[in-house]
Structures are given as C-alpha cells and as structure tokens.
Amino acid sequence: MSDSQLRTMGQQFGRRSWAEPWKIKMVEPLRMVDREHRERALDEAGFNTFLLKSEDVYIDLLTDSGTSAMSDRQWAGMLLGDEAYAGSRNFYSLEEAVQKYYGYKHIIPTHQGRGAEHLISRAAIKPGQYIAGNMYFTTTRLHQELAGGIFVDVIIDEAHDPQNTHPFKGNVDLEKVEALVRREGAAKIAYISLAGTVNMAGGQPVSMANAKALRAFADKHGIKVYLDATRMVENAFFIQEREEGYANRSVAQILKEFCAYTDGAWMSAKKDSLVNIGGWLAVNDWTLFEELRNMVVVYEGLHTYGGLAGRDMEALAIGIVESVQDDHVRSRIGQVRYLGELLAHWGIPMVLPIGGHAIFLDARAFYRHLRQDQFPAQTLAAELYLDSGIRSMERGIASAGRDPKTGDHYYPKLELTRLTIPRRVYTQAHMDVVAESVRAAYEQRDKTRGLKMVYEPKYLRFFQARFERL
Ligand code: P71
C-alpha cells in the first residue's frame, strides 16, 4: 500500500469500514438553490424552518418522522392493500407484527403517534392527576395536559446537561418518582410515561436495569407504566452496545424484553418502523382496551384501520420486521454517529453522547452573547439554512412553549438545534456537506444576531410562529 494521505473513514477510526445493508434502486433528485433564493425563502418563512417549502431545501434534516425510504418489500406490500372498511387483512398483519416484536396483547391502529397519545391520555388520566415522565415531548405533554393532567419531569439530572456522557441519559430518577408519590399519593399518579431514546434529551436511551427497577417500583405502588415506543428499537441497540449482559442478545430480543416491563405503549411508526405514516396503541389490560377501542371509532376510524389505509398497515407490518434487524439499526445509528464524530472532532458544541436519531447542536454554547429569549436555537437553524440549504429543527425555548398557569415562557435547560437523520435516505457524502456547513456557522457565531418572535399561535407554537432578526 502507498503511504497516501487519503484514508477511508474506517481507517481514520482504526477499524474496518462498514456500509449500509441495502442498495439504492430509485432516486429523488434534489433541487439546489443559491444563497439569494434562500434569503428570500427564509424571510417568507418568518425564520421558521417549519414554514419553508421542501422544494427550497437541499438536505432535509428537519425530522426523521415519516421521512424514511421504504424498501422494495414495503412498496410491494402497498399493492396488497385490502381497502375494506372493516376487518382488512392488513390490520391482522399489523396486529401480528406488533404482538410478535413488541409483545403487547391488544392493538389499535392510529393515524400517527399523537392520535394514540390522545386516546391513552383521555382514557388513563383523570383531571388533576400527575403524569411522571422521563422528559417531556411536545405532543405527548400537550395531550396529557388537554386531558387535565399535570406533567412532572422525572428524568435523571444528567439528561439536562449536554456535556454529561452518562451512557443512559434517558433513565428515570426513581427518587424523583418516589418523592412525587410521597407528596401526592399513588392514587394521584395517572401513570408513568416512559419514553425510549428520549427525543428532547438528544436521543438518549433508557437502560434495561432502569426499566426493570421502574417496574418493581410501579408494582409496589400499584401504578401503571406506559411506554412511548416511537424510537424503542434504537434504544434496544444502545442496550446491546452498552449494557452488561446484552452484547449477545439481538435487538429484537432486547426490544421485547424491555416492552415486557410496561403495561402498554403508544407508537409513532413514522420513525423506527420505516413508514411515511402510521401509529398504534397497544395495552395488555382488556378493560382499558375495550375503552380505547370504543374511543378510536370517535376520533380516528374503525378499530381495524384507525385512520390508516390498508396499504399503510401492510407497509408498516413489513417495516416493523425490517426495523429490528441488527444490521439495519447498526448502520442507521452508525450514520448519525459518523456525522456526530466529525463535529465533535472539530470542537462543535453538542449533546453527548451522540444519540440515536439526530445530532443536537448546543445553540447556547454557539451563541453565548444571545439571551435564551432571543431564540439561539431558532437562530442557528436559520443560519444553517442560509449557509447551505440544510433544514434543521429548533428544540429549545420556542418548542418548550409557555407555562399554562403563569403564561411565561418555559425556559428549558437545553437550547438545541436538531439535525435529524432520516432512515435509509442520505449518503455519507451528504453528511460531509452537513458537517462543513455546521462548521461554517460555528465560525460565524460571534457575528450572528438573534431573533424576536412576532407571531405566536396558541398550541405547539414552534410549528407556525414567525420571527424577525434583531
Ligand atoms: C419529531 C417528531 C415529529 C414532531 C412532532 C412535534 C413537533 C415536531 C416534530 C414525534 C413524536 C416523538 C415521540 C417521542 C410522539 C411523537 C408524536 N416526533 N413521541 O421528532 O418523537 O408522533 O408525530 O406521529 O404524531 O420530529 P407523531
């Protein structure tokens, strides 16, 4: 071998290179627009990346939700759609896949995650009750609050510190739950809301030991545990990688064991399960299931389609099987890690350890001269778009919204800009372009001005809020 300076990624990391366990058979051309066009587009979008037209975006890292590439098998499944109003055979494929891989008894399809959140929140929360959760998620907490519940964050403190490298930063702090139970009494706790790879913490996993301990705690007090299974497959990969005793268990085995410590789950299948639309709700208790099955016909559709077409349910059933393959998860998280390692190597501030679905840039550390109510993370999202047409998402003060009691902004500890990687969509070369753009924004950080909010909708304001430069 010559002593050329060019080295593969694997060589740079001192290992053999790996590659994706698939090849590309259909492509979607991307449109590249110039800086002047981007300035106009961003202005028209009120500096909110949610309001950009997808056509004006080059590399779209807004979300990993519903943005995955389906496989040839899934597309073939679309043609097997049984579009009967009732009892579609695709519902039974879906039910079987959820039972087999997640292990719950009774399944209700929903159009996406928040459809399921709506139903479980209404059925399981009495007004005035508390929900203890390992960090809030926007739609989850909103549905809990709309049902009259009060959300209490019980994630470990490490999760709020971007630099802390705890391997399971998604863990529940049992002492915090215990304190809540002592203060309010177990009857005032509607349930424990446990999420896999906690989104707002940076895609950070929960350990199996924590899930087990939580189960024991919940049993002692007669409290239910419901799981947000949206990215639970990715969580299972981290357990395989990091937790003693799991290195030789498959992702599928770990997933099923973890779910067994919970009483039910809701799912946005648009993430782990590799589909563009879909969700479900699953519980083991028959009485609760009957209530949910009754409610789904009011809000989503009949209990054998829940707002989905037959073809969507088939693609989802196949997506579940593909999603739990070890090779798939390893390369999916490996791509996120590739981008993260480049950025970390260049000293870019971000949440560590690198999470499952995204890189979360620490916007507070980018823009030390901006106050949090000058929207640092929103500013960084705008700057990245201007630099290269990359679309990211604010996950800071704009996303956190306002305290319903006082009307003040919530001031979350984490002020992050998320670069979310869709599954099976972009290549390593795309990741290189993204990394260089982040570096360019970082180099400009001292010259960057913040934003002010000039329009604020009442619910989930970050979706439609508008901003102007200060
Ligand atoms: C994400 C999304 C989609 C989203 C939602 C709200 C604001 C911005 C983007 C959705 C989730 C999620 C978790 C852990 C439930 C949902 C709702 N995430 N739980 O990260 O991450 O599911 O979108 O299918 O209704 O971009 P839904």
Nearest ligand 1 atom to the CA of 231 is: 14
Nearest ligand 1 atom to the CA of 279 is: 24
Q: What is the residue with the minimal CA distance to atom 7 of ligand 1?
A: 138
Q: What is the pLDDT of residues 254-289, one digit of tens each?
A: 999 999 999 999 999 999 999 999 999 999 999 999
Is the pLDDT at 326 greater than 90? The verdict is yes
Average the pLDDT over each of 69-83, 167-181, 211-225, 402-416 and give the range with the smallest value.
402-416
What whole-number distance in Å separates Cα of residue 74 and Cα of residue 271?
15
Q: Which residues contact 156 (CB under 8 A, 6 or more apart)?
A: 166, 169, 171, 172, 173
Give the CA distances from residue 96 to residues 314, 318, 324, in Å, rounded to whole numbers and listed in that order. Answer: 11, 11, 15
Residue 11: its pLDDT value, please? 87
Q: Which residue has the higher pLDDT, 17 or 377?
A: 377
357 lines ligand 1 (CB under 6 A): no
Check if the beta carbon of residue 199 is closer than 8 Å to that of residue 238: no
N- to C-terminal Cα separation, the chain: 55
Residue 400: its pLDDT value, please? 92
Q: What one-character-per-residue DSSP string does 349-410 give?
A: -B-SS--SSEEEEEHHHH-TTS-GGG-HHHHHHHHHHHHHSEE-EEESHHHH-B-TTT-PBP
230 lines ligand 1 (CB under 6 A): yes
Gap from CA of 392 to ligand 1 centroid (Å): 14
Write down the pTM of the prediction: 0.95
270 lines ligand 1 (CB under 6 A): yes
Could you confirm whether 137 is annotated as catalytic? yes
Gap from CA of 258 to ligand 1 centroid (Å): 21
Could you confirm whether 85 is annotated as catalytic? yes
Residue 2: its pLDDT value, please? 55
114 lines ligand 1 (CB under 6 A): yes
**Amino acid identity, position 187:** A
Average pLDDT in the chain:
96
Average the pLDDT over each of 3-17, 202-216, 305-319, 413-427 and give the range with the smallest value.
3-17
Pocket probe for ligand 1: among 230, 266, 392, 417, the residue whose CB has the most ligand atoms within 8 Å is: 230
Give the CA distances from residue 176 to residues 98, 115, 152, in Å, rounded to whole numbers and listed in that order. Answer: 32, 29, 9
Average the pLDDT over each of 12-16, 138-142, 234-238, 287-291 and give the range with the smallest value.
12-16
Gap from CA of 66 to ligand 1 centroid (Å): 10
Query: How much of the chain, in percent, has pLDDT values that exceed 90?
Result: 95
Could you count the other beta carbons within 10 Å of the beta carbon of residue 208?
A: 22
Q: What is the pLDDT of residues 238-255, one digit of tens each?
A: 999 999 999 999 999 999
Check if the beta carbon of residue 294 is closer than 8 Å to that of residue 264: no
Query: How much of the chain, in percent, has pLDDT values that exceed 70?
Result: 99
Pocket probe for ligand 1: among 139, 140, 299, 395, the residue whose CB has the most ligand atoms within 8 Å is: 139
Residue 149: burial class (beta carbons within 10 Å; 0-12, 13-18, 19+): buried
Q: What is the pLDDT of residues 418-450, one digit of tens each?
A: 999 999 999 999 999 999 999 999 999 999 999
Q: What is the pLDDT of residues 366-406, one digit of tens each?
A: 999 999 999 999 999 999 999 999 999 999 999 999 988 89
Coil, strand or helix at 246: coil
